[in-house]
Amino acid sequence: MALFDEQLGEVRRVLESMSAGGAARQFAAGARELWDKGSTLVLQEDTALEMGNPSVASLSLLLWSEDGGVEDGRITLVGPDVGEALKSGSLPFAQVVIVDGTFESEYDSYRDIRDAVYDTRLAGLSIRTMPSKRTLWCRVGRDAADKGLSLIDLGAALIDSVKRLEEVGSAEVVFVTSSAEDVRRLTSPAASAQRLVDAMMKMYQEQNFDCETCEYQDVCDTVMDLKKIRSKLTDSQD
Amino acid sequence: MENRLDYCEGGVNMILAVCGKGGVGKTTVSAIAAQALAEKNGLRALVVDADPAGGLGMALGLTPRRTLNDVRKEIIEEVKEGKRDKRDLSVSLDYLIAEALTERGNMAFLSIGRPEDEGCYCKVNVILKDTIEGLAGRFDATVIDAEAGIEQVNRKVISSVDYMLLVSDTSAKAVRVVETIKDVADRMIGNEGAGLVVNRVRDRAEIEGIQSGTALDVIGWVPEDDTIRRFDGEEKSFLELPDCPARAAIRGALVRAGLL
């Protein structure tokens, strides 16, 4: 069992139900050349499309598995792509990055993968993330939209970034732009994954194992991998 | 004077700080400078109200939804909730600052806001310094309406400025303040140039008296102007300011400084 197995299962079930209606499309990351990297500030007047604006539904989620269950290089899109939504001007947006590999040091691995996601920047696309709220706010610039920037490009760049890490063997990305309701269906696994990450971060950063007073006692007591992390850290203190 | 917008490193990212004693008209000059830059096609301008006393937002007719002080408070709340990972906080800061920008066309406006107590001024100034350094590089031109006096220059809150627009009225006290600001700036921060704009001038004799009494480069003088008084009194946006003597004078000063 890996740290996020429960959340991954929930995400897969949600995606299956979305796919059942024929709403999901799948693409291969390797099919296109990687989009140019760049850090762009896109002002409102230059924006062709906004995704995950603070006033609409938005979600960013990172999960991993250790059982080889990730379809390497797959990009799943539920809802319209950039070029198909330009008239709307604004879309709800969820981005789920799922990696598979061997993560012996969970804390270090999580931070490395998270940083790789944060550091994925494409020319003509402005991306901002609010980790505590698990939201992601993107603006596609007009030039980039005219040149055909697509969520497949973003997915391919994310997969390329995370796979550069030694511990990552495979990676896939899911984007949901169909509706705010569909994005919100991922809120529950995202929130529970966040609690696991927060518990893990607290253990590693504070090195305080007074479980009686800890707000994460419930997750630590029930999630096997967190128990293992706690044991590993307390053993190293002895 | 060749255009500073052209010769600044990389051809972009000019930072202009508007400094002076309180009440001399810095905000008016900042607003008209912002208006002039906003009218340049293809140029992206960041306008920062770094004065806790505020006023530039009103002068531009822009009401920020949140300020840098609000951002500071939200980051503090995150830390209190146990979110202490530096990378996550840095990314959150980037997000919250983007939310704090009020945009109009090719201009983005950011306000420092008004901290509740003395101690908070220092803390929000630290965020302001980092924000200006990080954000200004993404714009072609940045106009900073600085806090009255020398504090922000002294504490290097405003650093690596390309040009200091020093604003004074005709009082000796106000001229002495900008001389001090220039002196501190030369010692404490980098700047490529500085020029003095004298505001609310009644006649040529006043400006000649000032020019003879200071070593500062007087790049312009602004007459008393009823249009400015009316716009101020009626809280109208200076982005809509029509041609008037004050506007022409300030724009002329910006041209002389190589900023337009």
pLDDT for the residue B7: 46
Helices B245-256 and B226-233: crossing angle in degrees, nearest 10, is: 100
What whole-number distance in Å separates Cα of residue B80 and Cα of residue B31?
A: 38
ipTM comes to 0.91
Identify whether the C-beta of residue A76 lies closer than 8 Å to the C-beta of residue A14.
no
Element (DSSP H or E) covering residue B4? helix B4-7
Locate B87 and state its tokens: 């990378």
**A43/B92 touch (CB, cutoff 8 Å), yes or no:** no
Identify whether the C-beta of residue B214 lies closer than 8 Å to the C-beta of residue B179.
yes
Min Cα separation A22/chain B (Å) = 34
Could you tell me which of B82, B88, B87, B111 has the C-alpha nearest to residue B99?
B111
What pTM was estimated for this model as a whole?
0.90
pLDDT of A79 higher than 90:
yes
Note whether residue B235 is domain-resident: yes
Specify the residue for token string 């002329």: B252
**A118/B87 touch (CB, cutoff 8 Å), yes or no:** yes
Number of compact structural domains in chain B: 1
What whole-number distance in Å separates Cα of residue A52 and Cα of residue A56?
A: 6
Note whether residue A217 is domain-resident: no
Q: Which domain holds residue A56?
A: 26-180
What whole-number distance in Å separates Cα of residue B126 and Cα of residue B71?
A: 12
User: Which 118-137 residues of chain A touch chain B by CB within 8 A?
Assistant: 118, 128-132, 135, 137
Identify whether the C-beta of residue A225 lies closer than 8 Å to the C-beta of residue A6.
no
- Which of A41, A43, A131 comes nearest B88 by C-beta? A131
pLDDT for the residue B3: 65
**B103/A137 touch (CB, cutoff 8 Å), yes or no:** no
Note whether residue A102 is domain-resident: yes
Amino acid identity of residue B240, one-letter, is: E
Locate A185 and state its tokens: 């269906």
Contacts for A235 with CB less than 8 Å, ≥ 6 apart: none
pLDDT for the residue B11: 45
For residue range B225-259, list pLDDT tens digits in order: 999 999 999 999 998 999 999 999 999 999 998 88
Number of compact structural domains in chain A: 1
The residue among A106 and A76 whose pLDDT is bigger is A76
Element (DSSP H or E) covering residue B173? helix B172-188
Contacts for B40 with CB less than 8 Å, ≥ 6 apart: B260
Total beta-carbon pairs less than 8 A apart between chain A and chain B: 51
Contacts for B149 with CB less than 8 Å, ≥ 6 apart: B21, B22, B177, B181
pLDDT for the residue B8: 46
Supply the Cα-derived Rg of chain B in whole angstroms.
18
Note whether residue A32 is domain-resident: yes
Residue of B47, B85, B97, B106 to mutate, interface with A, max A Cβ within 10 Å: B85
pLDDT for the residue B210: 93
Looking at every residue in chain A, the average pLDDT score rounds to 91
pLDDT for the residue B134: 82
Supply the Cα-derived Rg of chain A in whole angstroms.
18
Residue of A41, A113, A118 to mutate, interface with B, max B Cβ within 10 Å: A41
pLDDT of A100 higher than 50:
yes
**A45/B84 touch (CB, cutoff 8 Å), yes or no:** no
pLDDT for the residue B186: 87
The dihedrals phi and psi of B224, each to the nearest 5 degrees, come to: -60, 135
For residue range B109-150, list pLDDT tens digits in order: 999 988 776 666 677 777 778 888 888 888 989 999 998 887
Q: Which domain holds residue B60?
A: 4-64+102-256
- Which of A118, A198, A215 comes nearest B91 by C-beta? A118
Locate B197 and state its tokens: 């704009």
CATH number of the CATH domain containing A151: 3.30.1650.10
Beta-carbon-side half-sphere exposure of residue A182 (alpha carbons within 13 Å): 25
What whole-number distance in Å separates Cα of residue A228 and Cα of residue A66?
A: 15
What whole-number distance in Å separates Cα of residue A78 and Cα of residue B130?
A: 38
Min Cα separation A164/chain B (Å) = 19
pLDDT of A143 higher than 90:
yes
Note whether residue B87 is domain-resident: no
**A202/B87 touch (CB, cutoff 8 Å), yes or no:** no
Note whether residue A111 is domain-resident: yes
Note whether residue A128 is domain-resident: yes
The residue among A237 and B173 whose pLDDT is bigger is B173
The 3-state DSSP class for residue A224 equals: helix
Note whether residue A230 is domain-resident: no
The full DSSP string for A139-152 is EEEHHHHHTT--HH
Q: What is the pLDDT along chain B (260 residues), one digit of tens a residue?
A: 556 655 444 445 788 999 999 999 999 999 999 989 888 767 899 999 998 888 999 999 999 989 999 998 999 898 888 877 889 999 999 999 999 999 999 999 999 988 776 666 677 777 778 888 888 888 989 999 998 887 777 676 777 788 999 999 999 999 999 999 999 888 887 677 899 999 999 999 999 999 999 999 999 999 999 999 999 999 999 989 999 999 999 999 999 988 88
Note whether residue A214 is domain-resident: no
Chain B residues within 8 angstroms (CB to CB) of chain A: 44, 78, 81-85, 87-88, 91-92, 94-96, 98-99, 103, 105-106, 108, 138-139
All residues of chain B having their beta carbon less than 8 Å from the beta carbon of residue A132 are 78, 81, 83, 88, 92
Note whether residue B179 is domain-resident: yes
- Pairing between β-strand B141-145 and β-strand B14-20 as defined by DSSP bridges: parallel
Q: Is B16 left (phi over 0), alpha (psi -120 to 50) or beta?
A: beta
What whole-number distance in Å separates Cα of residue A28 and Cα of residue A46?
A: 30
Mean pLDDT (whole number) for A212-219: 78
pLDDT for the residue B196: 97
Note whether residue A162 is domain-resident: yes
What whole-number distance in Å separates Cα of residue A121 and Cα of residue A124?
A: 9
All residues of chain A having their beta carbon less than 8 Å from the beta carbon of residue B94 are 128-129
All residues of chain A having their beta carbon less than 8 Å from the beta carbon of residue B99 are 54
Note whether residue B141 is domain-resident: yes
pLDDT of A21 higher than 70:
yes
CATH number of the CATH domain containing B37: 3.40.50.300
